[in-house]
Amino acid sequence: MCSTFGMSLKHLQNLCFTGKSIMASISKYSTKAMRTEQLLLSVGTKGNVFYEKDDNTGIAKITLSNPEIRNALSGSMMIELKEIVRDLEEWKEGRICILQGEGGNFCSGGDLNLIKKLADYEDGGERMCAYMHDVVRRMRKLPLLSIAYINGLALGGGAELTLACDLRVASDRAKIGFVQGVMGLTPGWGAADRLIQVLGYQRSLEVLLAARILETDRALGLKLIDHVATTDDEFQEYLKQYLDNRINVQVFREMKTLLYNLNEQTLNYQLQRESFKNVWGGEALMKAIATRPKHK
């Protein structure tokens, strides 16, 4: 169930998407997207993505909730996340979008039960990869300042989701790991190019090929994290600088869009998908699914 909010937040819109509402809306999509979403729903419906937005403050919050497996994304959660991004694309009052995880972790990527089931389909991995590429691309393109609030582990695809955001704020207990190689995969959610933008080519090689889990200080030194907030109060204080009404909301949004467009290059998403496809279903992935290292 979605949280209940007090009367002081009467303008707050709170949405919590469920499998039923997703199925009701699938008919709006293309046949290809419909087939992919039906596949994702058929192989995993655990967990939820909770979503709040407040027209008064201009803040939206997205919370990944699957705490038993460190907020790994099930198939239904991937669809919920896409629906939320679709809604944010139409939200004219927004300034900031916060992406966070529930229960002391950010996200550990894709649910390994989902990965195992998708491996039974010849094109299961490729379809999931293309779907999440679209989600990440659209999230990056939002006319909102997006901030990943990392309190705990962000592993694999979860580390990629932090790069779907413009900025990354972490607690002093955050750990970020691009551990896709250990799982027998390459980055599959479309953030490899963003990693190079943030870290540069050499540091990206180090992060991906060493596949170490980076604690807050090291991630900050690499500039993978932009700011450290040791408490929720410190995080709220950090947000205040972007909520100053000296900048009109329309100007704020146009500024974000301008910088995004200037920063982006022609991205070869097809190249990233081909790389992921080449290792999908291989011996290393099957071994990783069996030993389940990232959910332990």
pLDDT of 8 reads: 29
Q: Which two tokens stand for residue 172?
A: 């002093």
Q: Which two tokens stand for residue 289?
A: 């699914």
pLDDT of 255 reads: 92
DSSP track, 25-69: HGGGS-HHHHHHHHHHHHH---SEEEEEEETTTTEEEEEEE-GGG
CATH of the domain at 37: 3.90.226.10
Cβ 117 vs Cβ 82: under 8 Å: no
Q: Which two tokens stand for residue 204?
A: 């990206």
Query: Per the domain annotation, does 2 fall within a domain?
Result: no
pLDDT of 277 reads: 76
3-state secondary structure of 94: coil
pLDDT of 83 reads: 96
pLDDT of 281 reads: 78
Q: What are the C-alpha distances in Å from 292 to residues 5, 14, 33, 233, 267?
A: 38, 34, 29, 35, 32
For 12-52, write each residue's pLDDT tens digit: 344 444 444 544 454 455 677 788 999 999 888 999 999 99
Distance, CA of 296 to CA of 52 (rounded, Å): 30
Distance, CA of 57 to CA of 252 (rounded, Å): 13
In 3D, which of 212, 89, 90 has the Cα closest to residue 140? Answer: 89
Distance, CA of 62 to CA of 52 (rounded, Å): 7
Cβ 82 vs Cβ 21: under 8 Å: no
Strand-pairing partners, residue 145, are 96
Q: Which two tokens stand for residue 281?
A: 């279903």
Domain count for the chain = 1
Query: Per the domain annotation, does 4 fall within a domain?
Result: no
pLDDT of 271 reads: 65
Q: What is the DSSP letter of 98?
A: E
Distance, CA of 62 to CA of 82 (rounded, Å): 11
Query: Per the domain annotation, does 3 fall within a domain?
Result: no
Residues in the chain, pLDDT under 70: 1-30, 265-272, 292-296
Name the residue range of residue 22's domain.
9-240+249-295
Cβ contacts of residue 255 below 8 Å, gap of 6+?
247
Distance, CA of 71 to CA of 245 (rounded, Å): 34
pLDDT of 247 reads: 87
In 3D, which of 230, 211, 209 has the Cα closest to residue 220? Answer: 230
Strand-pairing partners, residue 147, are 98, 167
Count of beta carbons in the 10 Å neighbourhood of residue 39: 19
Query: Per the domain annotation, does 1 fall within a domain?
Result: no
pLDDT of 283 reads: 78
Count of beta carbons in the 10 Å neighbourhood of residue 138: 15
**28 Ramachandran zone, left/alpha/beta (phi>0; psi -120 to 50):** alpha
Query: Per the domain annotation, does 227 fall within a domain?
Result: yes
